[in-house]
Amino acid sequence: MRKVNILGVVFLLLLSILVPAVNHPVQASNYPKIEKTIPAAGDQHVPIDTDIRIQFNSNILKISANYIKLFVKTNGTYTDLPIKTIRKDRDVLNIIPEQSLEFNKDYLVQINGPAIELENGTYSQSLSYEFSTNYIDFYELMVINEQRLENLLTQYTPREIKAFAPKRYINEINVTHKKPGAFKEDQTSISGITNIDITTKSEDVKNVHVEILKNGKLLQKGYAHSLNEDKGQKNTLKFDIGFSKMPDFFDVHVTALDSSQKIIDSKILKFATEEGKIINTYKESFKYKTEGKGYTLHELLSKESLFSDFLAESPLTDIKVQVEDK
Amino acid sequence: MRKPLILLMMLVIIVLFPGILVGQASIEKVLLEDRTIQDPLKSWSVTFTQPVNKGTIKKQNFYIIDERKRELKTKLRVSEDESKVTITPESPYKDNVQYYLHIKGNVKSGKTFLNEHTILPFKLETRTSSNKGTNKTSGTDKKQVSANTGKSETNTSKSETSSSSKPNQKNKAKNLTSVQTECHSHFVEITVNVSDQVAKVKTGSDEFEYKGNNLFVLYKPDLKKGEKLTVKGYSISNKVLETKEIVIP
């Protein structure tokens, strides 16, 4: 009888150990938790056009936006990154910042306290994770160190590797150059004058700087003047600058700068005076299909014309590559 | 009643074939170097690298006009392999009158349209009229004088006088000083060094990026080994200063 009692106790003990273990997965799925974050904690080379998403194990019912924060690391310290909207899509929480992510920054996502109410309860744990939008140079992958591209392709598929063309701001450069000499009907000798008009996008552009070079040597330089007359033109700005005593053959290096004097676009144009002409004009207009856009390697390699445009429209050294886990 | 119907049809055509408008808008004019000829009945042949679409071989696309913009009566002939179109005048050219041979950009070669409207100015020279017979030669000294979007090359079917062609050749040789190609995994890098006079470099419709110091670079993905490319250097007024053919290694 005693033996039966002991067996019974052992059996009960075994049950108490085994039953919770068997039921554990069911219990866990009912307990509010995060299934996945995109980007994942510690992710590097995160594409700047990525969405910040957090997937829970149950549908989201209510969000307390006050508990959800985004930070960007600037000069070693984290500063608040304003959030435009926080959206729920079934079990996924989408955090959309006011401004798109920038290259080469560290971002911190934070959820505190009872921020999310799910169908299976309130997610009240604290969550904090970082990701980085650093990048790889396209030029390095494609020209200097092609082995690195091969290595990258062992980790990511062409659909997960994304190349971003830089934004372009210079729309047009127009050079009018008058050689030193006299007009036929005007006997007065006029020294050589060169006028350069530059049209840019109005967005972000504050200043335009022009350098005149010959055989790599800087001859003259200066900031172009903003022309008020062109203010009627929507979305564009017009600048001009004049030089004298210029040679007949020279390079015009134009840079567009933003309000913090950061170079946001540059163009080099070659000017070559034609023989027999006193006044020479040369205009180059720039039109872009790919500027500011991101394309997967798969897209570029499968569409020849797109890849051609992509390579032709941006300096290779300005194209940035990032990767995403799908 | 008919007018609305015609308008409706035009609208339908524009909606269904928007490329008609787009194509026209993007066509660029290329003015080639002046030529001096001695044969008053000189014919011009345009050689394409791919067969030309017969539907686009018409007098609206290949024609000669004089300085008063009067069109000359010409005959068009296409070679058996459809890669060459010859334009022959029905009446002799007049001495010292400026003529222009036009090849319009809506000529189709292979699967694509040329995207350049090429104009070749030429003149019959009186001074050498007494030597006309002796200057006619075989096709061995044919000179390439232009190329359209890499798809065609205009050749004179008969040679020109040595006096007019030699200085040109000499000048031309100075303009594209070196052309180098380097093959990478996914594209070919073409580097062209030019003279001071060259302001722009193109191959077909692809324009090279200027890097400064007379150096132009193009990264081109859609090239195969052994493929031929025609590289052209242009002046600021879009005159072709030199044409060079390269083969992808």
Q: Do A274 and B186 lie within an 8 Å CB cutoff? A: no
* Fold agreement (A34-132, A170-285): yes
> Are residues B196 and A249, on separate chains, in Cβ contact within 8 Å?
yes
What is the average pLDDT across B25-35? 70
Pick from A76-80, B107-111, B233-237: least confident:
B107-111
Q: Do B213 and A271 touch (CB under 8 A)?
A: no
Whether residue B219 sits in one domain with residue B110: no
The strand ranges marked E within A120-248 are: 121-123, 127-132, 136-137, 161-164, 170-178, 193-201, 207-214, 217-223, 225-226, 236-244
Domain identity same for B201 and B226: yes
Question: Is the pLDDT higher at B154 or at A264?
Answer: A264
pLDDT value, residue A252: 97
Strand partners, B178: B193
* pLDDT computed for residue B21 by the predictor: 45
Q: Which of B172, B207, B175, B215 is nearest to B191 (CA)?
A: B215
A280-284, B20-24, B121-125, B172-176: range with highest mean pLDDT:
A280-284
Is B231 a domain residue? yes
Q: How far is A305 from chain B (nearest CA, A)?
A: 8
Q: Please check whether residue B242 is in contact with residue B233, taking contact to mean a CB–CB distance below 8 angstroms.
A: yes
Burial class of residue A95 in the structure, from the number of CB atoms within 10 Å of its CB (0-12 exposed, 13-18 middle, 19+ buried): buried
Q: What is the DSSP letter of B134?
A: H
| Structural domain total, chain B | 2
Cα–Cα distance list, B26 to A98, B48, B105, B191, B194 (Å):
38, 21, 9, 26, 27
B176 in the same domain as B81 = no
pLDDT category at B213 given cuts 50, 70, 90 is very high
Q: Same structural domain for residues B53 and B82?
A: yes
The answer to whether position B188 is within a domain reads yes
What's the confidence (pLDDT) of residue A294?
Answer: 95
Q: Is the pLDDT of residue B128 over 60?
A: no
List the single residue in A216, A308, A316 with the smallest CB-CB distance to B221: A308
Question: Do residue B150 and residue B191 come from a single domain?
Answer: no
A83–B contact, CB cutoff 8 A: no
* H or E element at residue B91: none
Same domain, B178 and B152: no
Instruction: Check whether A166 has a pLDDT greater than 90.
Output: yes
Please check whether residue A122 is in contact with residue A58, taking contact to mean a CB–CB distance below 8 angstroms: no
- B209, B217, B223, B224: best mutation site toward chain A, by most A Cβ within 10 Å? B209
Q: Is the pLDDT of residue A187 over 70?
A: no
DSSP code per residue over A248-314: SEEEEEEEEE-TT--EEEEEEEEEEPPTT-SEEEEEEE---SSTT-EEEHHHHHH-HHHHHHHHHHS
Nearest CA in chain A to B202: A312
User: Domain ranges in chain A?
Assistant: 34-132, 136-166+289-323, 170-285
Q: Does A249 touch chain B (CB under 8 A)?
A: yes
Q: Which residues of A198-233 are buried (b: 16+ CB within 10 A; e: fewer)?
A: bbbbeeebebbbbbbbbeeeeebeeebebeeeeeee
In this structure, is residue B6 part of a structural domain? no
Listed in order, strand segments (DSSP E) in A81-192 are: 83-89, 92-97, 106-111, 116-118, 121-123, 127-132, 136-137, 161-164, 170-178
Examine residue B209 and state whether it is found in any structural domain, yes or no: yes
Residues of A in contact with B213 (CB under 8 A): 215-216, 251
Closest to A268 measured CA to CA, from A178, A175, A137: A175
Please state which of the ranges A75-79, A113-117, A185-189, B36-40 shows the lowest mean pLDDT.
Answer: A185-189
| Residue B108 scores a pLDDT above 50 | yes
CATH number of the CATH domain containing B65: 2.60.40.1220
Question: Does pLDDT of B160 surpass 50?
Answer: no
Residue A266 CA to residue A257 CA, distance in Å, equals 9
- My answer on whether B204 and B103 are in the same domain is no
Residue-range definition of the domain harbouring residue B75: 26-160
Structure confidence by residue, pLDDT tens digits, A274-312: 887 888 999 999 999 999 999 999 999 999 899 999 999
Residue reference for tokens 């000669």: B64
Q: Are residues B151 and B197 located together in one domain of the fold?
A: no
d(CA B169, CA A96): 63
**What SS3 class is residue B125?**
coil
The predicted-structure confidence for A230-276, as pLDDT tens digits, reads as follows: 555 678 999 999 998 888 899 999 999 999 999 999 999 999 998 87
Q: What is the mean pLDDT of chain A?
A: 87
Examine residue B18 and state whether it is found in any structural domain, yes or no.
no
The pLDDT, as a whole number, for residue A129 is 94
Neighbours of B67 (CB within 10 A): 11
Closest residue to A280, CB basis, from B209, B210, B236: B236
The CATH homologous superfamily for domain A170-285 is: Immunoglobulins (2.60.40.10)
Of B186, B222, B235, nearest to A274 by CB-CB distance is B235
Record: contact B197-A272, CB cut-off 8 A? yes
Q: Which of B160, B183, B199 is the last residue of a domain?
A: B160
Q: What is the pLDDT of residue B195?
A: 94
Q: What is the arithmetic mean of pLDDT over A96-109?
A: 94
Average pLDDT over residues B220-237: 91
Q: Is the separation of the CB atoms in B156 and B35 below 8 Å?
A: yes
Q: Which residue has the higher pLDDT, B135 or A103?
A: A103
Domain-ending residue, one of B132, B160, B188: B160
Contact residues, chain B, for A315 at CB < 8 Å: 209
The whole-angstrom distance between residue B201's C-alpha and the CA centroid of its chain comes to: 15
- Distance CA(A87)–CA(A80), nearest Å, equals 19
Has residue A199 got a pLDDT over 90?
A: yes
Highest mean pLDDT among A144-153, A155-164, B60-69: A155-164
Q: Angle at CA B211, nearest 5°, toward A149 and B182?
A: 45
* Residue B148 banded pLDDT, cuts 50, 70, 90: very low
Measured in residues, chain A has a length of 326
State which of B125, B160, B195 marks the end of a domain.
B160
Which CATH fold would you assign to the domain A34-132?
Answer: Immunoglobulin-like (2.60.40)
User: Does some domain include residue B149?
Assistant: yes
Cβ-contact B34, B122 below 8 angstroms: yes
**Nearest-CA distance from A193 to chain B in Å?**
18
Q: Is residue B189 part of a domain?
A: yes
pLDDT in tens, A1-28: 555 566 666 666 565 555 544 444 444 4
In a domain, B10, yes or no: no
Compute the distance between CA of residue A253 and CA of residue A266 in angstroms, rounded to an integer: 7
Higher pLDDT, B153 or A111: A111
Q: What is the CATH number of the domain that holds B200?
A: 2.60.40
